[in-house]
Each structure stands twice: as structure tokens, then as C-alpha cells.
Amino acid sequence: MYDNQQEYNVATQNGRIIHTKINILNYSFQTVGEISGVVLDGSSYNIDATSDIRRTCNISLIPTDSSFDVNASSKIWLDKYVQIFIGIEDIQNNNEIVYSNLGIYLINNPEQNYSATNNTLTICGVDLMAKVTGLRNGYLEGLPYQIDKNTGIKQVMTTVIRDECGFPNYSIDQPSPTILTPYDMTFGLGSTAYNILAQLRDINSNYQIYFDVDGIFWFNQIPMGKIYEGQTGTNNQIMIDDTLWKKVLISYKRNYDFESVKNVIEVFGKTQDNGDTPYGKAIDDNPISPFYVGNYNSITHRYENGIRIVLSGGEYDNIFPITDLNGNITDLNGLAQQRANFELYTRCRLQDSLELSCIPIYWLDVNWVISITLPNKQTKIEEKDYYIIKKIDTTLGVNGTQNITLMKYYPFYPFE
């Protein structure tokens, strides 16, 4: 469960008195000022686990003095970050303001509007990945960047994020089992640090790169294994359950994307000079699965409920054989099979989605596993299910709401 009890408690209060605090940070992450203008209702922030830049915000406020002018000597300029906090008064604790950190953002496209009846400043914020993707930095110096075959992924990522991008705070996992770069990687002119990081990330299925609310860069695995209820510190820990949902849930909608379902997956990697091609195949052969392929017909070589997709070329050309330090192939199909298993997971098991509308939970984050019992007025039958959060859209203010997109959570194949 979420481990900040005070933030958890104020999220369940019947009423809310909301405060906003915006700190100005320099590029060394030191607080050098504060924005104390009145933040207007309708401001918003968004978190999207599928986006390169995961966190964005749009904050409109009423400036209080000339320090809000957009110029090189003001609070609002290219060389500043903003760190945004939303606070709720704790009515059980002398109305102490309990702040939640919404993240650190680069100021992007500020807009001033002034008229006889209006004076507002709108700040569009993008998270620190913008300094990696090329949006606001991240382009490599005018030389090709070379990563040799059989180099450690953690080693290269650390060098890129620390030395090339200048970020001092990072947490980079060592993938398990350890897989070295399977081929020489060359990044030409016009490449960004993100191109390198993303290609390294994609060598291992189901890993993510992102900046958290404290500006720390992370490379780690998205939850995909057995659920551990009540156990803190695990990757598959349940972060929120019905204790909270019963107090904040407004409505929900379920979606089933049958068009995207594929339960027979074939993956072809990069064909080698000797003609060998890495190959992987995965099928949903679990009879209790709603996407079970059914019986196999040996004459037609098809499954009665099979929906096939063949994946090759493009990003799949990054799938190479696993070799030893001498270049000898030790596993032709290992990475291709990993990718096939993961494609089955994403194209089959994660096509059952849920959209929640609720009173904002400001400390919520994507790729968290949650449990929820959805009310059902028709059958009166309620069943607890597990979901993983993929997107959060929140409007601020007294009447603000939060829309959460989740995918049904299943353990990764094979079933555990």
C-alpha cells in the first residue's frame, strides 16, 4: 500500500481546502524562488506511461508582480524548472497543509494574456525527459556515438544519463538475466540521448525509462509478475485497494478492444550473414484464459480460436542472437522468444481496460498495480480485480476531477 499515511488520510476527507505551491528551481535543482500567484481552476496535469515525456502540466495563474514577466531576469525563463505541489488541509490535524509533489517540469511555451478584464499567465510544463528527447536538449555532439557489442546495458545507460545529459540522480537496474548488447550500435548525426536509452531499454522486454516527481531518472521493469498483497518494497505490490476507492470513486467504464487481440504471435529477428534468423512463437494455450486459442487442427495447422500476427522488420530487426564474448552464437532464438512472449502479453492479456472517474488522488502514479471491486447494479455480483494504471488526467481546483485509464492486470506468461 501507499506508504505516506498523511497524504492517504487527506485524500479520503469529506471536504477539501486546496493549496498550490510552485517552487522555482535552477538547473542544479536548488530552490531559487516561489510562485505565489493565485492558481486558477481548470489547470491540469497529466501522466502517460506510454509517452516519451511522461508528465505534462498546464497551469494558469494570476500574476502578482512584475517578476512574472517572461524574460531572462524573471522567474519564468529557459534556465528554470518549476516544481509543483498541491496541498490539502488536514482537518484532523489542526488544518496542517499536506502537500503532494506533482513533479519537476521545464517551462515550455509560457503565455501571457492581458486585457481590461483579464491578466493571466499560463505555464505549459514538460518533465525532464524533454532534455533527453531533443525537445529542449538531448542531441548528441556532432560525432557518431558507438556502443560496442557485449557491453553492459546498465554501464552504458549510466554513462549517457550522467555524462552526456548531466543528470546526477538516477536509479538504473541491472536486467535479469543479464543480457549484454547483442550487436554493435551506432548512432549517427542528429541522434539524441533518448534514441540510445530507448534502444537499450528495448533489448529487454517490459522495461521502462522515466523521470519521477523528484527528478530522478529510472530504468526498471514494469510490474508483470505474481501479485504480492500487503508486501511493501516489491515490484508487484498493491498500491491502492477498496479502502480508498470506496471513498473517491465517482463512476467507471469498461472497454474491450477485440480488434487488437492477437493470441498467436510469431516474431522474426534480424537475418544473419549465414542465413539464420532469430525466431520466437507464443500462443495463449491456457484453457481458462478468455483468449484461449482452442484446439489445434493438424491438417490446416491452425487453432480454432487463433488470431495470428507475424512481426518482422523495423524494430524487430533489433533482435539478434545471443553470443559469447568471442562472437559465437550461444542462443539463436532467446531474445526473439522473449519478445514473442511479451507481444502475447500486450496484444492479448492487456486488451481489457477500465476508465475511472474519481475525486483527485494527487500522489497517484502510472504503472502502479491496484485492486478494485467494481459495483454492479445489474447482477449485484461484485468481484475484486487487479489493474495496472496507464494514464492519469487531472484537473485542479475545488471541483477538479481525475480520469484514470487502467489495463486488466495478469501475471506475465507462463502463468504463475
Radius of gyration of the chain (CA): 24
Q: How many C-beta neighbours within 10 Å does residue 258 have? A: 8
For 128-132, 282-286, 408-412, which range has the lowest pLDDT when averaged over its residues?
Answer: 408-412
Could you tell me which residue, 108 or 210, shows the higher pLDDT?
210
Which tens digit of pLDDT belongs to each residue from 387-406?
999 999 999 887 889 999 99
pLDDT at residue 150 in the model: 86
User: Residue 113 pLDDT > 80, yes or no?
Assistant: no
Q: What whole-number distance in Å separates Cα of residue 153 and Cα of residue 171? A: 13
Confidence of residue 281 (pLDDT cuts 50, 70, 90): very high
End-to-end CA distance of the chain: 22
For 34-38, 87-91, 398-402, which range has the lowest pLDDT when averaged over its residues?
Answer: 34-38
Mean pLDDT of 155-167: 94
Residue with cell 557491453: 151
Helix (H) or strand (E) holding 172: strand 170-172
pLDDT at residue 209 in the model: 97
Mean pLDDT of 148-154: 89
Could you tell me which residue, 381 or 174, shows the higher pLDDT?
174
Mean pLDDT of 123-140: 90
Q: What whole-number distance in Å separates Cα of residue 230 and Cα of residue 232? A: 6
pLDDT at residue 61 in the model: 76
Supply φ then ψ for residue 365, to 5 degrees.
Answer: -140, 160
pLDDT at residue 349 in the model: 64
User: Residue 277 pLDDT > 70, yes or no?
Assistant: yes
Q: What burial class does residue 242 get, using C-beta atoms within 10 Å of its C-beta: 0-12 exposed, 13-18 middle, 19+ buried? A: middle
pLDDT at residue 83 in the model: 93
Provide the sign of the torsion angle of the four alpha carbons 221, 103, 357, 122, taken in this order.
Answer: negative
Could you tell me which residue, 378 or 2, shows the higher pLDDT?
2
Q: Which three cell numbers stand for residue 360?
A: 483527485
Mean pLDDT of 31-44: 78
pLDDT at residue 115 in the model: 52
Q: What whole-number distance in Å separates Cα of residue 223 and Cα of residue 207? A: 9
pLDDT at residue 78 in the model: 63
Confidence of residue 412 (pLDDT cuts 50, 70, 90): low
How far from 37 is each of 72, 110, 137, 352, 359, CA to CA, in Å? 19, 15, 29, 43, 24
How far from 240 is each of 10, 233, 375, 392, 408, CA to CA, in Å? 15, 14, 17, 15, 15
Q: Which three cell numbers stand for residue 354?
A: 477500465
Confidence of residue 416 (pLDDT cuts 50, 70, 90): very low
User: Residue 253 pLDDT > 70, yes or no?
Assistant: yes
User: Residue 167 pLDDT > 50, yes or no?
Assistant: yes
How far from 104 is each of 49, 68, 83, 101, 304, CA to CA, in Å? 16, 19, 4, 9, 51
Could you tell me which residue, 338 or 41, shows the higher pLDDT?
338
Strands (E), 227-295: 238-240, 249-256, 264-268, 279-283
pLDDT at residue 263 in the model: 93
Q: What whole-number distance in Å separates Cα of residue 13 and Cα of residue 92? A: 9
pLDDT at residue 298 in the model: 80
Q: Which three cell numbers stand for residue 208?
A: 521502462
pLDDT at residue 203 in the model: 84
Residue (of 283, 168, 177) closest to 216 by Cα position = 168
Residue (of 150, 172, 145, 148) closest to 161 by Cα position = 172
User: Residue 132 pLDDT > 90, yes or no?
Assistant: yes
Q: What whole-number distance in Å separates Cα of residue 320 and Cα of residue 4? A: 44
Q: Are 57 and 39 in contact (CB under 8 A)?
A: no
Helix (H) or strand (E) holding 268: strand 264-268
Q: What whole-number distance in Å separates Cα of residue 65 and Cα of residue 37? A: 9
Q: How many CA atoms lie within 13 A of 324 on its CB side?
A: 3
pLDDT at residue 415 in the model: 42
Q: Which three-class secondary structure state does DSSP give residue 34? A: strand
Q: What is the pTM (predicted TM-score) of this model?
A: 0.85
% the chain with pLDDT above 90: 46
What rounded mean pLDDT belongs to the chain?
85
